Structures are given as C-alpha cells and as structure tokens.
Structure 1
C-alpha cells in the first residue's frame, strides 16, 4: 500500500494506492497514527487507485470516523472504484461514510467542514455588520463562484403557455436549492395539469398541487438512486455553493420584511463585495413572525391559458389564477426558504440577457418603480427554537426537516417578516442554462 499524505488547513488528505486488505490496513493504521493529529477535523481518502477493500480495511476507518464525528468533522471517501463501493454497501457502511465521485468535490466538502469548525471556535471574533433593519454575523462558507441555473422560461409560466414538450426532469441530488413550477409523477399525464409552486431544499421536494385541495405534498428520499425525478416547467437553482453564511437578527421585534432584508443585503454587498453584480441567491433557516403566501390556482399550461391572451397576473385574470394572502397565513413559525433577488438600483448587464430574462420577468410594466425583484419560496414548520451560534446551514435545514412538524409551503410574499435567520448568501456571478434537465416526455 503506497500512501501519500498532505495536511493543510486542518484537512489530512491521503492518496492510497494498492489493496486495503489486512496487510494494507496495517500500513494505513501506521500512517494515521503518525499524521492524525489533535487539530485535524477532516480526513480525505483518495480511493482512485484502490481496487480492493475488506472488512479489515473498514475496521481501521471506523475509529477515525467516530473520533472525527466527536470533533465535529468527517472522514470522507473520494473516487471509489465499483468493487470498493459494493463492499461498503453489503457491509452496511455505505450510508455511514460520506462519499464523493471526484476528489475535487471531496476537497470542497472537507474545506467547508473545516471552515465550519473554524467559525464555531472563533464565533466571538467573526466579522459583524450593522444594517438598517438589524445586524449580521458573517462567516466564510467556502463556496463560489455562485450561479443561477435556469430551466424553462418564467414568461411561459406567466403567459400560461407551458406545453408537455417544455417539461423537464431533474434528479433530486441535482436540485439541492431550487424553486419554480413543478410536480411529481411517473409520466407527464400524472402531473401536467396540476403543477404548482415547488421548492427543493434539505433533500426534500415540496410542491403545491393545483388540484383544488390547497394542500402541499412532499417527498423526502432516504436514498437517491436517481429513479424518482422532479418534474418542472420552470426551475431556477442555486449552483456553486454559498460564499458566506450570515446570522441575522432583526432590530424590530415584529420582524423585518423579506424586501427590507434583501435591500439591506444588497446595500451590504455593495459596501463589502467587489464581486457583487446585482444578484443574490439565498437559502435560509429562519424564525418568521408573519408569513404571507401566494400560489397559482391552476397549472399555467397552454390548454388553460387565459382567453383574453393576457398574463395570469393581469388585473383581469389574477383573481382566477392566483391566491394571495391579505392577512398573515401563519404567525410565529420556523421556515426554510430559498430564492433569488435582483437589485434594480444598478445595472444587471454583467449577466447573459437571454438567460436573465428567463429567470426574472424584467418587462418594464412588471418592474415599474420597484427597487428590487424577488422570487422566494418557503416551507413552513411549527416553531422550533432557534439554535445558539449556528454555523451549519445544511445541518440546521436537515434538523428542521427531520424533527419539525410540517405545516405548509408557499411562494413567499415580500411582506412576510423574519426575526432571526441563518442565511446562506451566494453573490451570483452568472445566470446560465441548467445542464441537468432531461425531457420529461422520455422519462
């Protein structure tokens, strides 16, 4: 067993070559005894050149896995060959040890875990900033450059001209943070005429079928085998990870509106970030004082298009097409939200105009005197305590999904109010086509 070790930023990377059998595991154990110091929070095993692993090899890994878990870190496997992957599956360890199909993806994950540990240990010394509506504590997240990836066209939704040929499918693991119009089902005829608002967040797909029952439905796959697909006529995803995490506290006990929060974040980005181009992608786990929601009442597909040829949001059509809350639908709840915001006080010419117009409806009649254009969806749960010193957005989102009591899902209106939130912020550098869509008609 040949082993090349490298320690950097509290991540111990080991490139292995040979057989991880009883003999090879002894050599790996000796290497770990020498290099696995008290400060290490991640061990990354590059398994590209390992064609064999046995229970003897797995037994060497388990104590390291347990110790790293105790430290708040992880043992990560990268680029497993088929036989090694099969051994982990039949021995029951496939779900225990995180696996990535490339070394680069594993390195990104390891760096993020190490950053999270750094943020926890240096909480009192993290950057803070005061904003008009509150204050934030800012942490590096290890992601970027961020992008918004687009499937379909928002104009087709607003004109109710989506056809079966426009439908696309995405696998769950390709839609970690996304919003749009969609549904679930085996074939287009199962969902085409009842598609509604949708969100994917925390390994969960939630959608609001337009079947007249006004009841959201959801799916939480335990294992992603790629068989169950998210079906969509329009979807925007946050790609590239988050540049920063922020812990927000509202100055007003009644909360800060979504529009005010975005304005503050735009202003903060202009002040702090040379790479801010006018778009932000956000995902958050927050406490909401009041939630105002909306949703389409019928699937915006060509057979149902308004007879007058107008938009579904036109004054003459909106009553038949949209349900919009005039009073809070929910008060004092926990929510998981995902969305994008465009700062209209400056130019957006750094982005591909064609793709930008597919993501946002930038027609002058829609913009008017607005200073921002926002699109956010939220999954609502009964109120859970806000964590102290939160640094792990994905972990907090998973905890809410696993432990929380699901209440609702809606398009989140801009006058909804947030009192506290852990926010993942992406300073979007590009708006581009999503490469992961597959024709639903062929699914």
Structure 2
C-alpha cells in the first residue's frame, strides 16, 4: 500500500493552520518541511497543526514539528497540536516530548490557545508605546539621533539611461558605507565589474547586487573586516550618510497593506507635524514584511558598447523590454524586505535649499513606476528564512541575514509595492553633494 501526505494550509484570525492527512514518516516529513518553508511568513507567531488524520509519526516528522516550535519560541510565539491520535501521542510521549507541546481537541480551541500569549504581548507593547492610527495603519515613533546628514551621489544616472558608461564613469567604493543604492557590481577589476553592473544595495556594509551576466539570482558579500584590498564598482551610487533622526514602526490593520508611495507621503506628513527640519528630502531605510512586491531590474550592463541602436535611451518604449525586467504581478508575500532609498517632496517650498540641477538628476524613473509630486528612489532586497520582529534593530536583521537568510531578489523598488508592517529609519539631509 502506498501512503502519501496531503497538506492544506489556511489562516484564521492571524493564525497559520496546517491540516495534515497521511503518515508523518520520512516521506511525509519531507513534504511537511517543504510546506513549512514555503508557508511560514517572516512575521508569523501563532501556528496550529491539525493531526486528526495523521495515524503515524516518526522521528522525521517530530524533527519538523520541533524545528517549527523552536522558530516560534524565538519569535515569542506559540505552536499548538490538535486532535492527536493515539499512536502519535504515544510516540511523542515515549520520545519525552509530549509535555512540551500545547495540545487541544479541536482547531478552534487551538486557535484560541495559540493567540492567547500573542494578544497579551501586543497589548503590553501598545501600553508601552501608544500608536497613532491613520488610514488603517498604526504608527509608533522613537526619537533617534539628531545629526547633520548628507547624501553623496557618485556617478550619473544619465550615463546609465543613455548606456554610455565608460571606465571614466566608474567609481570605486569600500565597505565602510552603511547605506547606499545604485547600479554596481563586484569584480576582479574595473573592466570585469563593468560587464556585470546591475541593481545594487548596500546595507550595513553588506553589498547585494544582481549581476547582468545572465544570472537570475542576486549575489552578495558581507565582509568581516576591512582590509582595503577589495572594493566594489558603481556607475551610480547614492550614499546615505548620518544617523536616523526618527525611527517609525508601522503595522496595517487593513487587508491590502500600505504602498511604498503612501508610506513615504506619510513620513513627509509626520515630519511636518512633528516639526522636523525637513527640507523636502528624506533618507529612508526599511526592514519589514511584504504584502505585494513589485520591482524593476536592469538586464544588461549600460556600458557604451551595449548602447541601443539606433541611438536612444534604454528606457525608451522600443528598448524597455530588452533592457528591463519589470514585475507585472505582486509576489513574495510574507517574506522580509530590506531597503534603502530617498524621497523628494517637490511641493515642499524648502526644496529650494538644494541645487535644482541636483534634484533634477534624481528625477529619473524606472519603467512601471508611478510619477507625481513625490519622487521615490529606493532599492530593496527580498530575504527568506529570517523572522521579522518590530523590536529588532535594523542592524540585527542584517546579522541574521548573513547567518541564516536567503536573498532571493534585489531590484529598484516600484512605489506600488505594499508592506504589512515594518520599521523605518528616517534622516533629514541638510546637503546633497554630487561627486
């Protein structure tokens, strides 16, 4: 007789439910483990496993359940086993593990039990840090460090969009940069890197980029120490220098999440209401949980030898499909996002403190992006395998990434991307310096 494992997943009241049918032996455990990897979101804290149709369990199945329990414990969450049959119950007891799990006789009871501790922690957090509710999104605020912040721009976006990049346009960068974004690559030397220039993001000294040599997955490098022997190369790099003046935590209570465009516009509004010294430009670093991800990625290195023929820009309508991969449908729901970018509010009268030509150099847009009075230039990476916690410092997200995360995408982030929750570090630059 051939046994199989059927797995149904659903969510009720914020609780992830796995309903299993079949033997939880080595084969079944492999299928269940795959389901856990694909279905557990980075912010899940409550899981129920319905075992009423599981007559058999072995150490392989127990290992998957234990791994899930360990992950929920790390997140201060809970896992509940429902409707255990006699044999699996005896196996867990003999393994000395029955008493470490919360168990119930039904899924409904399991949902209540899984939510109890989570709801209590949420109430405590709300009492400690009261939130502001605006358009279905809760915001809490922490004051950061007030310092003189500067944006440095290396390279020229026009040379990128004209595909006229030469060695003279390439800048070298080291790994003491905390946050930056642009178009770049690592390589043996400048010539080597130039053939692979792609969407690039630097977060806490970790460089993430998508090579344009036919690769479909990002590459990244996290140095342990700075020797000065290794650099990265960029055709354009926007460097965000300085400390966060504000740290904003947000969480949506509405079903569809909040778009990057709306989030940036709210940050500008909060800056005005909280009387921050904002001149119409903000530097923003985000870690959060994705609802719908939309990105745009350059497919070829925009060096002079690759320039479109007849002459034109790579974002001209006739060239876009050859040069860009732009998402039409959203993806990566429940995965973690890390991003760095800038926002420009053209309606802010204080914008005149900046050189108009500098602001104009940042007004480019990727195919598929929204246009308007708020300019958003943001690059983001999508990470699987790490948990998101609003109490966690953004720097710790990067540390966990290097230890256990899997980077599955990096792109220019389209402003219609939606997030469920996240933490935002905001700076208000006094100067924008073009190198």
SS class of match (1:349): helix
Question: Which residue matches 2:400?
Answer: 399
What's the CA shift for 1:388?
4.8
Please list, as runs of the form range in 1=range in 2, the aligned pairs for 1:260-271 lying within 5 A after superposition.
Answer: 260-271=262-273
Question: Which residue matches 2:356?
Answer: 353
Question: Which residue matches 2:199?
Answer: 197
Change (3 A) 1:126 1:147: farther
**Residues 288 and 417, structure 1, Cα contact 8 Å, conserved in 2:** yes
User: Partners in 1 of 2:127 and 2:172 — Cα distance?
Assistant: 44
User: Partners in 2 of 1:267 and 1:352 — Cα distance?
Assistant: 23
Which of residues 213, 216, 238 in structure 1 aligns to 2:215?
213
User: Partners in 2 of 1:253 and 1:383 — Cα distance?
Assistant: 24
Q: Does 1:413 find its partner at 2:395?
A: no
What's the CA shift for 1:132?
3.0
Change (3 A) 1:397 1:357: same
User: Partners in 1 of 2:385 and 2:270 — Cα distance?
Assistant: 29
Question: Which residue matches 1:138?
Answer: 141
Runs of 4+ in 1 over 4 A off after TM superposition: 121-128, 366-369
User: Partners in 1 of 2:260 and 2:369 — Cα distance?
Assistant: 17
What's the CA shift for 1:125?
5.2
**Residues 138 and 247, structure 1, Cα contact 8 Å, conserved in 2:** yes
User: Partners in 1 of 2:382 and 2:265 — Cα distance?
Assistant: 23
User: Partners in 1 of 2:263 and 2:165 — Cα distance?
Assistant: 33
Q: Does 1:287 find its partner at 2:293?
A: no
What is the TM-score with the length of structure 1 in the denominator?
A: 0.65
> For residues 16-44 of structure 1, what are the alpha-carbon distances to aligned partners after superposition, in whole Å with 9 as ceiling and x for unaligned?
xxxxxxxxxxxxxxxxxxxxxxxxxxxxx
Moved more, 183-192 or 245-254: 245-254
**Residues 195 and 209, structure 1, Cα contact 8 Å, conserved in 2:** yes
What's the CA shift for 1:188?
1.7
**Residues 133 and 264, structure 1, Cα contact 8 Å, conserved in 2:** no
User: Partners in 1 of 2:291 and 2:126 — Cα distance?
Assistant: 26
Q: Does 1:181 find its partner at 2:187?
A: no
Question: Which residue matches 2:243?
Answer: 241
User: Partners in 2 of 1:341 and 1:146 — Cα distance?
Assistant: 14
> For residues 233-273 of structure 1, what are the alpha-carbon distances to aligned partners after superposition, in whole Å with 9 as ceiling and x for unaligned?
10001111211111111232331111111111112222223
SS class of match (1:197): strand
Consecutive unaligned residues of structure 2, counting only runs of 5 or more, are: 1-123
Q: CA RMSD in A?
A: 2.5
User: Partners in 1 of 2:412 and 2:205 — Cα distance?
Assistant: 19
Please list, as runs of the form range in 1=range in 2, the aligned pairs for 1:57-206 lying within 5 A after superposition.
Answer: 124=127, 126=129, 128-173=131-176, 175-206=177-208
Change (3 A) 1:342 1:122: same
What's the CA shift for 1:431?
0.8
> For residues 104-136 of structure 1, what are the alpha-carbon distances to aligned partners after superposition, in whole Å with 9 as ceiling and x for unaligned?
xxxxxxxxxxxxxxxxx9985557433335121
Which of residues 225, 232, 256 in structure 1 aligns to 2:227?
225
Question: Which residue matches 2:332?
Answer: 330
Which of residues 244, 252, 255 in structure 1 aligns to 2:257?
255
What's the CA shift for 1:346?
2.8
**Residues 336 and 384, structure 2, Cα contact 8 Å, conserved in 1:** yes
Question: Which residue matches 1:299?
Answer: 301
Change (3 A) 1:227 1:133: farther
**Residues 285 and 397, structure 1, Cα contact 8 Å, conserved in 2:** no
Moved more, 232-241 or 130-139: 130-139
User: Partners in 2 of 1:129 and 1:276 — Cα distance?
Assistant: 21
User: Partners in 2 of 1:383 and 1:284 — Cα distance?
Assistant: 18
Change (3 A) 1:267 1:125: same
Consecutive unaligned residues of structure 1, counting only runs of 5 or more, are: 1-120, 435-443
**Residues 385 and 404, structure 2, Cα contact 8 Å, conserved in 1:** no
Change (3 A) 1:367 1:252: closer
**Residues 180 and 240, structure 2, Cα contact 8 Å, conserved in 1:** yes
What's the CA shift for 1:334?
0.6
**Residues 126 and 139, structure 1, Cα contact 8 Å, conserved in 2:** no
User: Partners in 2 of 1:360 and 1:182 — Cα distance?
Assistant: 19
**Residues 151 and 236, structure 1, Cα contact 8 Å, conserved in 2:** yes
Change (3 A) 1:397 1:219: closer
User: Partners in 2 of 1:396 and 1:368 — Cα distance?
Assistant: 29
SS class of match (1:160): coil
User: Partners in 2 of 1:167 and 1:152 — Cα distance?
Assistant: 7
Question: Which residue matches 1:78?
Answer: none
What's the CA shift for 1:393?
2.4
Change (3 A) 1:300 1:272: same
Change (3 A) 1:368 1:292: closer
User: Partners in 2 of 1:148 and 1:420 — Cα distance?
Assistant: 26
Question: Which residue matches 2:76?
Answer: none
